[in-house]
Structure 1
Amino acid sequence: MVVMVVMAGLPGTGKSAVAGGVGAALGIPVVSVDPIESAILSAGIDADQPTGLAAYLVAETIAESVIAGGGGVVIDAVNAVEPAREQWLKLAARCGIAIRFVEVVCSDVGVHRVRLEARGRQLAHIAEPTWHAVEQSLDEWEAWTGETGSLPRITVDSVNPLPVLVEQVIAFVRS
């Protein structure tokens, strides 16, 4: 089964770690939006331009190419708003493949904050978000409504060990 697994979650919840584990377990690539945005900025595009949107569009193009070659893909992105989630839904429909949404949360605020403040992804031109920025982004997080709200989705809590999370997601993807 060719599938697109679409991650969603606030920065620092562990979604990239889960995405990497799922990609490795399924033998499919992970397309991550943040390194793409970093590359766009490294090319000299001004940060006041819509580089985040551009990164999502580049990720979509890469994912479509992988799918056209017969493979599945994991999309690693915040996907905080309905239009972003719909982008992946439309791609899956266009390519005629299954799609599974995976929302990663961290129910322990202290653990979430420590993870966020300890990470260092070494992405040129992209500063790690502060805890204050993550708290503010909660206000911008859109509920799962519309077409994506009616699709099956799994929510995993990253206070659990990574192997457990990956197993949960793999079981969901294969169901």
Structure 2
Amino acid sequence: MLIAMVGLPGAGKSSVAEALGRKVTAPVVSVDPIEAAMWRAGVGRDQPTGLAAYVVAEAVADGVLGMGQTVIVDAVNAAEAARGQWRLLADRHCVPVVFVEVVCSDPLVHRRRLENRSRGIEGFAEPTWEVVEGLRKEFASWTDHRLVLDTMTDMSANVATTLGFLSAAV
């Protein structure tokens, strides 16, 4: 199965993805470290490294699915094109794709999390609240069935809810 995490920066999707990955023993392919690695390798920030990171993540996820394993993709996935990319990849492997949207319903908590986080991704500056607000306005409407998790809820409860949703999707 391909599990595509979706949500704004700082909402908690990477934390949920990592907890879920540990629970189902699935690798998490995260777009942000891939983009940062491109910059460290000398690819200019004026290049479309955001798009390229999604393409690299797809290639890695393709290899994992090709081995018959579940993979979790951790990315904002705000655009329909990104979501379509995961649907097509899952179709190529004849596996289900499950979208898990992660939100933080309290804007003050969301902003505080964003402003206080340090993920330790070398060369990757955390986005500002203004960037997050801009992404929120650009978020494409949904056509897919998805699970929406609120990270104001306990992590273990969110993981349990996700596991139930995944079982129903199989």
- TM normalised by structure 1 equals 0.94
Q: Deviations over 1:101-160 (max 9, x none)?
A: 00001100111011101100122222101111111111111111xxxx1x3210011100
Q: Deviations over 1:55-91 (max 9, x none)?
A: 0000000001011111010000000000000000000
Shift of 1:6: 0.4
**Is 1:168–2:161 an aligned residue pair?**
yes
Unaligned runs of 5+ in 1: none
What SS does structure 2 have at the residue aligned with 1:79?
Answer: coil
Q: Residue in 2 aligned with 1:124?
A: 122
What SS does structure 2 have at the residue aligned with 1:38?
Answer: helix
Q: 2:99 aligns with which of 87, 98, 101?
A: 101
Query: Aligned runs of 1:26-45 on 2, under 5 Å?
Result: 26-45=24-43
Q: 1:7 aligns with which of 5, 19, 35?
A: 5
For residues 81 and 174 of structure 1, the distance between their equivalents in structure 2, rounded to whole angstroms, comes to: 26
Give the letter aligned to residue 72 of structure 1. T
Q: Residue in 2 aligned with 1:62?
A: 60
- TM normalised by structure 2 equals 0.97
Shift of 1:30: 0.5
- Show structure 1 runs of 4+ deviating over 3 A: none
Give the letter aligned to residue 92 of structure 2. R
Q: Residue in 2 aligned with 1:155?
A: 148
Give the letter aligned to residue 142 of structure 1. A
For residues 26 and 132 of structure 2, the distance between their equivalents in structure 1, rounded to whole angstroms, comes to: 29
Unaligned runs of 5+ in 2: none
Q: What percent identity do the matched residue pairs reach?
A: 48
What SS does structure 2 have at the residue aligned with 1:5?
Answer: strand
RMSD: 0.8
Shift of 1:26: 0.7
